[in-house]
Amino acid sequence: MLQRHSGFALLLLLLGITAYRAWVVATNGLNLYVDEAQYWYWAQQLDWGYYSKPPVIAALIAATTGVCGDSEFCVRSGSLLLYPLSAWLLFLLTRKLFNAQVALLAAALFITLPAVSLSSTLISTDVALFFFWTLALYAFVFALDSDAWDDWILLGVALGLGMLSKYTMGIFLVSALVYVVAARRFDLLRNPRAWLAVGVMLLIFAPNVWWNWQHGFPTFQHTADIAAGSTQGALHWDEFAEFFGGQFGVFGVLLFPLLLWVIGREQVAHKTLLLSFALPFLLIIMAQALFGRANANWAAPTYVAATVLMAAWLYAKWKTVTAVLVLNLALGLLVYHPMPLNQLLNTDLHKRLKGWEVIGAQYRELQQDYPDALLLADGRDVLSSLAYYAKPEGLRGVSWNPQHQMRHHYDLVTRLDDKQGQDFLLVTANNLPASIEPYFESVQPVGQLQAVIHLSWKLHYNVYLLKNFRGLRTP
């Protein structure tokens, strides 16, 4: 019975979970995080690249907000759409390797992973990366069986769009090479269809390379700086421990240790294939954490193949399956409704997602007194969040960057050298730097922006009116 109706059962599951998550996003009142606000800013000016990320995240937000407007819900709705589609692809992939019952379990595990539960209510580059990584693995598995041109071309398309989502998609090629060696499938290296897939990927990725070349390769440099880690050569065991511990929160407090057990001790069909597309990503990001820094979610694509592996091993172990699902669902519910943890820890776990709507309203009121002054800030958090919540005319916020540094996207796309004679409203979390005054005819404080979120957390910014910018000559 389940064999025949597994697809329908999955559809009901995905519709139910997605409807609930949509209700959470629509009613939780959480503001955009600074990265989300920055991605929305990018979406107002679509391009083939941005300072820190390739362009798919901006295109995704432009698509969803073009349909339903610029509310937080619409900005984030790409996650609500793509994660169910990723789960459906995972179902089809697992059904190809195993059977419909294992496929249904794999999709259920995936859609309830703690990382997916959290990410489904936000918008980030992981959303598209998850989807295209899953699509690429789906196409690769089918291509291994059929060797059909269309499957290899689909793989190339998925790889190319994945690279336009996040550069770590390139680890898929490392995983494919690991599989070639581990499974002794060296014939794949001589297969022109496989090389066609690589060519399609490069063709799709080429516009982002061109954009980077035109702008001095900022995204490549930013990614390289992150990957380089510490320049001191020391091993960061504290960062490694934090990253490793974070995987319990990404994959599940029970599912992650079970995965380690299965990797080391259990025999599962297609284990070589699945571990080839799980372990390299995890080990690479672990090494990055050890030598520098890595956030827990950076290894998230590990858990596409890992979920299939665990579904195959867990199938018919219903007590364990129940425990895994209950624990992961409980973690998801705590993400959506954190009041018990807030009371226990005397904090607000959502504090970084609150307050900017208030700050934006205060800035708009202040801006009315100085309508000709442009927003000026020394941090991307202010420029991103006020662009969304205050929406200054033309989104014309400018980065204070007299030394022509390249710290974030606003250093790349805004200029001071053509603003001579312009008045500014400087919004800064700090006191006015003494070095800024000689650049202007007069400087005066005109107000403060403040939002108290919790006893231990508040947003506070000073606002200064800077009149008649004298230009970037040495003051």
Residue 461 lies in a domain: yes
At 233 the pLDDT is 62
Residues 292 and 396 in one domain: no
Which of 181-190, 226-235, 330-339, 363-372 is the least confident region? 226-235
Segment 325-348 shows an average pLDDT of 92
- pLDDT of 232 > 70? The answer is no
User: In angstroms, how far is the first alpha carbon of the chain from the final one?
Assistant: 79
Residues 218 and 363 in one domain: no
Segment 222-240 shows an average pLDDT of 73
Residues 409 and 303 in one domain: no
Residues 77 and 176 in one domain: yes
Question: In whole angstroms, what separates CA 423 from the centre of its chain?
Answer: 36
Residue 474 lies in a domain: no
Average pLDDT, the chain: 93
Model confidence pLDDT, tens digit, residues 338-386? 999 898 888 999 999 999 999 999 999 999 999 999 999 988 999 999 9
Model confidence pLDDT, tens digit, residues 407-435? 889 999 998 988 999 999 999 998 888 88
Note the pTM of the prediction, 2 decimals: 0.94
Residues 413 and 339 in one domain: no
Which of 38-52, 114-128, 385-399 is the least confident region? 385-399
Residues 163 and 182 in one domain: yes
Segment 118-136 shows an average pLDDT of 97
- pLDDT of 287 > 70? The answer is yes
Output the six-digit token pair for 396.
């014309």
Residue 384 lies in a domain: yes
Model confidence pLDDT, tens digit, residues 446-463? 999 999 999 889 999 999
Residues 333 and 205 in one domain: yes
User: Phi and psi for 456 in degrees, rounded to 5?
Assistant: -105, 10
Whether the Cβ atoms of residue 220 and residue 270 lie closer than 8 Å to each other: no
Residues 255 and 334 in one domain: yes
Last residue of a domain, one of 320, 345, 370: 345
At 227 the pLDDT is 65
Last residue of a domain, one of 305, 327, 345: 345
Query: What domain count does the chain have?
Result: 2
Residue 475 lies in a domain: no
At 231 the pLDDT is 44
| Parent domain of 109 | 2-345
Residues 302 and 417 in one domain: no
Residue 414 lies in a domain: yes
- pLDDT of 195 > 50? The answer is yes
Residues 382 and 341 in one domain: no
At 293 the pLDDT is 86
Residues 282 and 383 in one domain: no
Cα–Cα distance for residue pair 68/60, rounded to 1 Å? 13
Residue 350 lies in a domain: no
Last residue of a domain, one of 313, 345, 377: 345
Segment 328-342 shows an average pLDDT of 92
Residues 302 and 381 in one domain: no
